[in-house]
């Protein structure tokens, strides 16, 4: 199993290098690092992606506003997410 702290550092580096990138509100670096560590550093959601962050995460975000795992996302996704959460609370 890979070290969760090393994975967290790698994820933080990605965030630092991509100012528009955000973490989904349901996750933290610590929680996601533990999930990825259990997969020995591989993408936990897409079996053929050997690492997290994978080399496709920016393409995914460009296409869907979030990576396939919903860990990384952009501001547009967060706006939509917050609108849905707010609307759900009013129901």
Report the pLDDT value the prediction gives residue 9, as an integer from 0 to 100.
96
The model carries a pTM of: 0.90
- In the structure encoding, which two tokens stand for residue 87, read together? 């609307």
Q: What is the mean pLDDT of residues 17-37?
A: 96
Q: Which of 20, 32, 22 is nearest to 73 (CA)?
A: 22
Q: Is the pLDDT of residue 42 over 90?
A: yes
pLDDT at position 54, please?
Answer: 94
Distance CA 7, CA 54 (A): 12
- The stretch 57-76 carries a mean pLDDT of 97
pLDDT above 80 (res 90) = no
In this prediction, residue 27 has a pLDDT band, given cuts at 50, 70 and 90, of very high
CB 8 within 8 A of CB 15: no
């Amino acid at each position: 199993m890979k070290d969760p702290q090393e994975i967290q550092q790698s994820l933080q580096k990605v965030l630092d290098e991509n100012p528009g990138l955000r973490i989904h509100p349901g996750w933290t670096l610590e929680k996601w690092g533990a999930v990825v560590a259990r997969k020995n550093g591989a993408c936990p959601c897409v079996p053929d992606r050997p690492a997290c962050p994978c080399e496709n995460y920016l393409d995914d975000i460009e296409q869907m506003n979030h990576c396939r795992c919903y860990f990384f996302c952009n501001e547009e996704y967060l706006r939509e997410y917050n609108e849905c959460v707010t609307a759900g609370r009013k129901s």
